[in-house]
Amino acid sequence: MQNLITKNRMAKPFLKWAGGKTQLIPQIENYLPVAIKEGKRITYIEPFIGSGAVFFWFIQKFNVKEAVISDLNTDLINVYETIKSIPEALITNLDAIESDYYALDGEEKKRHFFYNIRDLFNLKTGSKVISAAYFIFLNRTCFNGLYRVNSKNFFNVPFGKYARPKISDHINILAVSKLLQNVTILNGDYTETLKYADKNSFFYFDPPYKPISKTASFNAYAKGQFGDEEQFRLAAFTQLLTQQGHMWLLSNSDPKNINPLDVFFDDLYAKPANTIFRVGAKRRINANALKRGEIKEVLIMNY
């Protein structure tokens, strides 16, 4: 993996994403297994990849011999696969969209262009590369870079009023493409990553949040919600990993932010092998609860 790193350019996330973990990286680093920090060679598995903030940092910093990423969101995984296999074709399409967008005079014309692309994206009749280009364009120009779909799986985030957002970032797309060459990319449920684990595997889980208030509905990333039943299923999966000897770290928002008596995760992960820490986090997308103040995340691990 080391030789995949471009000499002068680090690959970084190419999307904005609800729950993106850039802010949490120093805390995550603090709580990594000592052996990994000391250079142990491992397989890195991130089953809820989203924009991959932790993934990009991790695999360029530590001794990763193999990496596996997955997400349930088919359109998102199509972007990763496109960047991996045909980055130049993607850049050509992004360049065209970017120059058309920049040439439009005034917000109304840009807004119209945005909704037109959103309709085309939702038709899902384009090629995979066009669909990936639309995905990146919509991510860069929609409100707050959110990804939200309705019950028909149609992307429905409104226009974001950015005058000159960066849409086609050649250098980063090429750096990401290079980095992805040895990465296994899966589109499916997180449980499917298990068959890729070997005896030196480390899993990082960043599942959709438990909503931090009644009005926070940003956990509707893809079809279906990640409700309490899903949190129970994930906890059972982590227990299976522990039984099989794999190391894992999981992050989530702390329900105690809203209700100090809420011990949902403390109960759910109250297994002898697990440890729970609460760490400060700045949330980019939050509900108006707690405004922009510091809120806590839980970090749960089995080592």
Ligand X SMILES: C[S@@+](CC[C@H](N)C(=O)[O-])C[C@H]1O[C@@H](n2cnc3c(N)ncnc32)[C@H](O)[C@@H]1O
Contact residues toward ligand X (CB under 6 A) are: 17, 19-21, 47-48, 50-51, 53-54, 70-73, 189-190, 206-208, 221-222, 226
CB of 116 to ligand X, least distance (A): 25
Q: For residues 71 and 254, which CB has a smaller minimum distance to ligand X in the complex? A: 71
Residue of minimal Cβ distance to ligand X: 50
What secondary structure, in 3-state letters, does 76-90 show? HHHHHHHHHHCHHHH
CB of 20 to ligand X, least distance (A): 4
CB of 42 to ligand X, least distance (A): 19
Q: Report the C-alpha gap between 131 and 129 in whole angstroms.
A: 5
Tokens of 269: 């992960």
Q: For residues 19 and 113, which CB has a smaller minimum distance to ligand X in the complex? A: 19
CB of 302 to ligand X, least distance (A): 19
Tokens of 111: 């807004």
Q: For residues 110 and 148, which CB has a smaller minimum distance to ligand X in the complex? A: 148
CB of 162 to ligand X, least distance (A): 20
Q: For residues 10 and 96, which CB has a smaller minimum distance to ligand X in the complex? A: 10
Give CB contacts under 8 A, 24+ apart, made by 27-33.
27/279, 27/280, 27/281, 27/297, 27/299, 28/54, 28/204, 28/249, 28/251, 28/299, 30/279, 31/249, 31/277, 31/279, 31/299, 31/301, 32/62, 32/249, 33/202, 33/247, 33/303
Q: For residues 221 and 269, which CB has a smaller minimum distance to ligand X in the complex? A: 221
Q: Report the C-alpha gap between 85 and 71 in whole angstroms.
A: 18
Q: Report the C-alpha gap between 209 and 66 in whole angstroms.
A: 27
CB of 207 to ligand X, least distance (A): 6
Q: For residues 168 and 253, which CB has a smaller minimum distance to ligand X in the complex? A: 253
> Which phi and psi (to 5°) does residue 116 adopt?
-65, -45
